Structures are given as C-alpha cells and as structure tokens.
Amino acid sequence: MSLVPFDDRDGLIWMNGEFIQWRDANLHVLSHAVHYASAVFEGERAYDGKIFKLREHTERLFKSANILDFEIPFTMDEIDNATKELLEKNNIKDGYIRPIAWRGSEQMGVSAQQTKINVMIAAWDWPAYFSAEAKMAGLRMRISDWQRPAPNTAPTDSKAAGLYMICTLSKHKAESEGYDDALMFDYRGYVAEATGANIFFLMDDGKVHTPTPDCFLDGITRRTAIDLMKRGGYKVVERHIKPEEMAKASEAFLTGTAVEITPIQSIGDDYKFAPGKLSRYMIDAYDAEVHGRENNAAAAE
C-alpha cells in the first residue's frame, strides 16, 4: 500500500492566524523545535462535523506550552474558532485534527527566549476503520524496553513532542516482532501506558483498575472512559499496578483519541485477556458519547 505523504496533500492548513494551502505550510530546517523538540501538540477527533471535547484539548495545549516555558500568541477562543472553521473549509465531517505550537528559527542553541512561537492546525479525513466486532478481537502487545521517565527528569504533565521518541521506538520494536503495540512501565517499574494510549484492567475483584497518571498524561479519553464506566455501574480504581498483577485481569483495553476504546487480547506471552462484556459496553458507550446519541449500551449488573 502506497502512503500519501503529509506534505503533499490538497486542502487548507491554519498557520499563525491565516488559512494557507496545505503544501505551503512549511518551517525552516533550523527551527528550534526540529533540533530541541520544543513543541507541544494535541490529537483531536471530529465526529459528524463536531470536534469531541475541543475546549479540553485546547486547554491542555496551552498548559503544555506553559510547562515548556512559552506562551501561545492566540487566545483559546481563537484556536477553537480556527479549528472549527478549518473543518468547514476542508469539508471534513469525520476527521483527525492536529494542532501544534513550536519555537521557530530566530535562535539556534539550547537557549531560546527570543524565538517566535508558531501555531499550526491541520485536519484530515479519518473515518472509523474498525467495526466493534473487529475491535473485539483485541490487540497483541509486547512489553517495551523503555520506561516512562520520572516527573523530575522530563515535563511529563505536558503533551510535548520530545516525550514521544521512546514511544516511536517502542512501537517500531513491537511491530517488527508482529505485535500491534507496546506496554510501557514507568520509572519505578509499575504499569504505565501504551505508546499513545492509557490502559485499563478488569480485575478479579470485579473492579476496573487503571494506573495513576503521575508520570504520564491523564488522557482526555481516559477521563471520558472513567465517567462512562461510573455511569454504567462499574467501580474504577486508580492506583499503582505491578506488572505481575496483570495476571489477575480478565479484560483489558486501551483508551485514546486515535484508538478510542480498543480491547487487548494479550501482553507478551504471560498475560492473556478475553474481551467481553466490559469491552463491549465501553466500545458502544464511547461511540454513543462521541456522536451525541443516547447510550443504550448494556452496563454492569
């Protein structure tokens, strides 16, 4: 299958306050962000022309920029309005949106106080690729060789570009070995997250357990999932989870803007799961939530 490169597409991109042709949305090779990863971004989804939890994503973009010691030169309202207008101009109903803010090329070196802060928003079609039935087959995962860093060694509360390099390395290793994704532990050895998604387990106590996000992102989809489970009568426990405790789980699934709700069938050779009632409920409940429909999914008894 031939890929369509992201620098050679039709459509418009919003960049620094203007809508420009997709192919003209460029930056210089000496931009600070290219060399020092001084960029923050978001991943958002549009369903039926409406962006799911747009404001929460915009707020996190601004929070991430603040953590990386720079200020986005637009208001949140301006970013939200530009995002909505971009969807309309590109005639996108079901799509993925990528806003990003980065330091420019005015300075080259570790110090970057005088760099201009650039902001870009792109959007492209992203329909639902997998049916609920296909998702219920579950992902095969391996355990990553990399660990999420400690909060005093990296800006772990931000969605910063540099934090994703070990995710790329982990994902590449997993795919090269025939897996779908990788599970990352944190710097203490506790279960953390996948390469771009949070994780949940239905444990033998009948409760849903998920790692405490104290060194990785508390995902917007993660919070949505917790709310949906509570509405469905499931009890959710946030805590530090030791790897060996995964043996006590009957179901497991990932949550994220891209993966939405995706069950897991195995993690390495030692941990097997059977996507069942909880996974089905979460897939159906999340689908109803993002489309603004009444949730008729079968909940916990």
Our CA dihedral for 79, 216, 129, 200, rounded to 10 degrees, sits at: -130
Q: Which residues are identified as catalytic?
A: 159
Check if the beta carbon of residue 251 is closer than 8 Å to that of residue 275. yes
How far is the CA of 66 from the CAs of 27, 29, 38, in angstroms? 22, 24, 12
* Backbone φ and ψ of 198, nearest 5°: -85, 165
What type of residue is 232? G
Q: Nearest to residue 155, comparing CAs of 254, 242, 60, 84?
A: 60
DSSP type of residue 116 = P
Structure tokens of 60?
A: 């996190």
Q: Is 10 helix (H, G, I), strand (E, B) or coil?
A: coil
Q: CA Rg, the chain, in Å?
A: 20
Q: Residue 8 burial (CB < 10 Å; 0-12/13-18/19+)? A: exposed
Structure tokens of 95?
A: 């799509």
Q: Is 131 helix (H, G, I), strand (E, B) or coil?
A: coil
Q: Is 157 helix (H, G, I), strand (E, B) or coil?
A: coil
